A and B are shown apart, each in its own frame.
Chain A
């Protein structure tokens, strides 16, 4: 028998033998059958009851046993029904054979006994089949309920994840370490009278404006996201000109797509802080995007030639949050995967089917 386990920490409920309830029901049915058959039998009532009970329990055991047996040939329900149909006459024959001491010839010659075999086997056959079908129906019903609960659980988990991801957007976006280091660079440019100070301040303002907490993704597009990514990368390039090179190349026509704000930036920030920044040599970051002409699926990627990711590197909440947000935004077909870049580095790719792209 199957039993649903609410969580893996709870052990399953074991049922080695048929459940006690089923044994009682079968016993009661056998009693009814014995009472119904008693008038046409010469044998005493208890003998008839014994025979029906024997056959009934044999049927129950066969039904349960076949249900547990994992065989590749037949669907489980069909095997269970077939075994009931087969065991009903067989068990009846066996119980009569026992009463004549195993003498098959004597049994076949005894008209009254043959009649008994026929009566009990046909009664138990009909009763057994009805019971088997009933039990199977109830099992299927329970399975459907369990599936329904599982589905509801998964749905609520997804909703909770998406909400958590949106709430995390409201928390501080701007890392103080990033902000103060960038401001120190701006100060250095201003002090030295560099004409780069003004454009750098513009990048910083663009970045800060985009990174302010917000709830609504409604008007954000891929174009605004790429402006944010460019502003961030320009600032980082200013800070580590010898260690960070970058390029941004987006296939034309994608700029107007609705896009959840900070989604691509999260991947770019990861590439800088986990790929480029820990490396003495630094590396290159490539941001790109294209749309598959036939399927309309959009793929965006952030590839770096930094130090790469160790198998034991903490995954952080950023990626899980991002995955949940993207799925809430574009639907369950969205994917976010990481690949290694040879000889070292990481490529994060996300693909989704934007609603606008549907034919």
Chain B
């Protein structure tokens, strides 16, 4: 007599874990749900602990998502993904013939999945060989979506007791001021610890340009360029009275085409 099949359910929403447990109990009474995980990290830990044959993984989970968790589990179990509305994921699952369920889980569909899993377990079938490539490209896609931008989008500045997040599009210019850098933005001025050099590296070059050893300007705000006799220039900004210097080595930015 073979031991009963075992399963792990991973979903960050407890009601949905319970619901899937109940549905499975009706459709596949022999299946033992040996562990429930609240996120991808727990799923991998509990999988290593219990080595279940079937794993139900929610795609969207905090920390490690379902796709990343599945790569951790690799080819050691039959994996079924559960998703609410990740269209790109559904397409990839279809394409790679990977088992998946959509939430809310339809009982007839779950019955089909159960039948397929039972058949594979009976044959002691290996998980599908193409699965890993599909998971890898899906993981890449998810990382790309969650990836931070290449450039600074926010400037964190201490204002009084708190740290304020200033959207870079509201910044008019940045100017080094001894140890600190002065940020002049639509809501006022603030000092930050980052240097002009660091900021010049991190800010989007399509929007910001260094125009002087100590000045970075938001190009979208420049209204006038006044050239001086000694190969330097002055910048005038929209809605601001300050005049910013352009030094000789940065003058080419404003040369006539």
Contacts and interface: CB of A to CB of B under 8 A. Distances in A.
Interface of A: 2-5, 8-9, 11-16, 65, 68, 70, 150, 154, 175-177, 179-181, 183-185, 187-189, 191-192, 238-243, 277-280, 282, 309-315, 319-320, 335, 337-340, 346-347
Contacts of A8: 219-222
B257 interface: yes
B67 to A, nearest CB: 15
Nearest to A177: B85
B98 interface: no
Nearest to A9: B219
A16 B63 CA distance: 60
Contact of B38 (A3, A154, A175, A280): A280
Contact of A188 (B18, B148, B223, B226): B18
Interface stretch (B72-80, B120-128, B130-138, B159-167): B159-167
A243 B13 CA distance: 9
Given A180-B104, A184-B104, A185-B13, A192 B19 contact: yes
B60 interface: yes
A12 B223 contact: no
Contacts of B163: 339-340
Contacts of B202: 311
B104 A280 contact: no
A183 B104 contact: yes
A184 B256 contact: no
A242 B38 contact: yes
A180 B84 contact: yes
Contact of A337 (B152, B164, B227): B164
Give 8 closest A-B pairs by Cβ, nearest first: A12-B225, A188-B19, A312-B148, A184-B104, A340-B163, A184-B103, A338-B165, A8-B219
Contact of A68 (B150, B223, B228): B228
19 contacts: A2-B224, A4-B223, A5-B224, A68-B229, A70-B234, A154-B239, A176-B85, A183-B103, A184-B16, A184-B84, A187-B104, A191-B22, A243-B12, A312-B150, A312-B152, A335-B187, A337-B165, A340-B162, A340-B164
Most chain B beta-carbon contacts within 10 A, residue among A8, A12, A14, A192: A8
Given A192-B19, A338-B164, A279 B62 contact: yes
B227 A181 contact: no
A180 B103 CA distance: 6
Nearest to B239: A154
B115 interface: no
B94 to A, nearest CB: 18
Contact of B225 (A5, A180, A338): A5
Contacts of A14: 227, 256
Contacts of A347: 162
B25 to A, nearest CB: 12
B154 interface: yes
Interface string B134-170: 0000000000000011111111100100111101010
Given A176-B85, A180-B103, A183-B104, A311 B155 contact: yes
A11 B225 contact: yes
B154 A311 contact: yes
A5 B222 contact: yes
Contacts of B238: 150, 154
B19 A187 contact: yes
A241 B16 CA distance: 12
B201 interface: no
A313 B154 contact: yes
Contacts of A177: 60, 84-86
Given A187-B104, A335-B187, A312 B151 contact: yes
Given A192-B22, A314-B149, A242 B224 contact: no
Interface in B30-74: 38-39, 41, 60, 62-63
B227 A184 contact: no
Contact of A277 (B14, B62, B256): B62
Nearest to A341: B162
Contacts of B162: 339-340, 347
Nearest to A11: B256
